[in-house]
Amino acid sequence: MGDLISIIVPVYNVKLYLERCVKSICNQTYLNLQIILVDDGSTDGSGQVCDNLAEQDSRIVVVHKQNGGLSDARNAGLDIAQGEYIGFVDSDDFIEKEMYQILYNKIKNTDAEVVNIGYRRVDENNTFFPSAVKRKKDAFISNKEFLRELYLFEGDVSACTKLYKKHILEKLRFKKNICNEDLVFMFELLPQIKGIEFVAEIGYNYFIRSGSISNSGYSKTIVDMVKNAEYGMELAQNIYPDLMPCAENLYYVQVLNYMLLLPSNIMNKDNSFYLRCLKQIKLSRNNIKNNQFLSKKNKYVLLVISFYPKMINRFYKLIKRGKH
């Protein structure tokens, strides 16, 4: 039958999509699964859907808890996971029926502690889009090279496209109360492993909902992305100093997004985070000019922002309005 795999599904107000997600897990060709549904204080009836699904499949375990966010829900699942291997699936996504069989075969036949499968995006019209990660064949990617790819927006940051040996997650948890938590999770995971085995086959379907955080404008997410990029620079500086230009690329791009999307009325002396970002851009003008990974366009806009932040912010928003 094979080793037990625990699959953790955080659930919060996804009643419309939850059954599709869970059924795609229940219908896996790999059968020895513990399916942990963590109802994170849903108010739309998702919790009842979890209970109904558990009545249909004895492999499903349901946890009901107060709302604490995605990271807290995943951590609650990790606390009760019994499998030798761990996987994550977000509750509005769905997976191909052989995904965990493929991942299990790969992790058993290699020395890897983490394996990664390909993904694609799908919208509400059931239109599929290829991922930005261009890898046509199976490969082993060292921890350092995988980190480099993340810094350059070329890697697969998702926690859900991977299968993990349980022992490497025993002391590792998702950071609470932050957005873009998968990136920080990867930053903390990679130094603990030699690398990741990548399977080029598509196994994970990432659902794009209209009005989702990733499709909206300024929010806490934008601030957290800058803070996460700062964390990434600390990691490079302390462990992989030759990756600093790559890490700075991630940081500069996230700061640029922040400066462009920030409401102009809070670009003032009372906004300490804004002032910190602006000061860093000013201090980094030479680094920005010389960074081999930043595009010419991004370099130019960042340098102009360092002198005229409000003007560029307003000009960018005028252009965006014109396009709509």
Cα gap 284→305, rounded to integer Å: 12
* pLDDT of res. 182: 96
* pLDDT of res. 214: 46
Do residues 254 and 261 make contact, with C-beta atoms less than 8 angstroms apart?
A: no
Do residues 91 and 36 make contact, with C-beta atoms less than 8 angstroms apart?
A: no
* pLDDT of res. 130: 80
The band of 220, judged by pLDDT with boundaries at 50, 70 and 90, is confident
Nearest residue to 204 via CA among 321, 119, 323: 119
* pLDDT of res. 215: 47
Cα gap 182→154, rounded to integer Å: 15
Cβ neighbours around 166 below 10 Å, total: 18
Extents of the domains making up the chain: 5-207, 217-323
Beta strand ranges found along the chain (DSSP E) = 5-11, 33-40, 60-65, 85-88, 94-95, 114-122, 128-130, 139-142, 162-165, 195-207
Query: Does residue 211 surpass a pLDDT of 60?
Result: no
> Average pLDDT, whole number, for the chain?
94
* pLDDT tens readout for residues 85-98: 999 999 999 999 99
Query: Does residue 149 surpass a pLDDT of 80?
Result: yes
Whole-prediction pTM value? 0.93
**Domain topology for 5-207:** Spore Coat Polysaccharide Biosynthesis Protein SpsA; Chain A (3.90.550)
